[in-house]
């Protein structure tokens, strides 16, 4: 019973009358979500180190530059915080928008971000993913990450808003190579 404007068994809406199921079903493929919550925590910590190293080096540069310029260079400290935010957004956007659809921490922990229908991430999705995570944690407290423990796909609040899912990349079947034409 699938008519235009009504959901079918999977609960997914489409405007052409049919329904598209989620690409990653936790009941049919539980291995895709096994250990994802724990791996996301460690991936987050690794990403914080990757983001923090250039920021710390930037602060050290400004401090030394201020000493060399007899205090004039310290005026650059007002640029450090906005530059740090821009760097973090560009990092997440570029990594999730890259070919592996994962940040450095996610790659180390064998995780991958996908849309609910299976498409890989892209720059704007990655940047928005990071911004929504920080906004949700800042305004709703860090306990908002507990949402991931109470759903089958281990999705966090910002994953629900953006329609993304993080999967265990180590169990995915490799995509076969295309035949060579030469």
Residue-level pLDDT at 175: 44
pTM: 0.80
Q: Give the residue-averaged pLDDT of 15-40.
A: 78
Name the pLDDT band for 19 (thresholds 50, 70, 90): low
Question: Distances from the Cα of 77 to the Cαs of 39, 59, 73, in angstroms?
Answer: 35, 7, 8
pLDDT tens string 85-109: 999 999 999 999 999 999 999 999 9
Question: Distances from the Cα of 174 to the Cαs of 73, 170, 179, in angstroms?
Answer: 52, 9, 15
pLDDT at 119 over 50: yes
């Amino acid at each position: 019973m699938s008519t235009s404007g009504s959901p079918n068994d999977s609960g997914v809406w489409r405007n052409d009358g049919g329904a598209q199921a989620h690409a990653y079903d936790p009941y049919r493929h539980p291995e895709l979500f096994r250990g994802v919550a724990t791996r996301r925590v460690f991936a987050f910590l690794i990403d914080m180190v990757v983001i923090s190293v250039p920021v710390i080096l930037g602060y050290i540069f400004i401090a030394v530059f201020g000493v060399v310029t007899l205090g004039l260079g310290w005026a650059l400290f007002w640029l450090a915080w906005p530059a740090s935010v821009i760097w973090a957004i560009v990092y997440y956007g570029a990594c999730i928008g890259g070919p592996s659809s994962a940040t450095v921490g996610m790659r180390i922990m064998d995780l991958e971000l996908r849309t609910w229908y299976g498409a890989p991430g892209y720059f704007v999705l990655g940047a928005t993913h990071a911004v929504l995570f920080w906004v949700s944690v800042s305004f709703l407290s860090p306990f908002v990450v507990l949402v991931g423990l109470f759903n089958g796909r281990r999705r966090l609040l910002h994953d629900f808003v953006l329609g993304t899912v993080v999967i265990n990349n180590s169990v995915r079947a490799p995509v076969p190579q295309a035949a060579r034409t030469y």
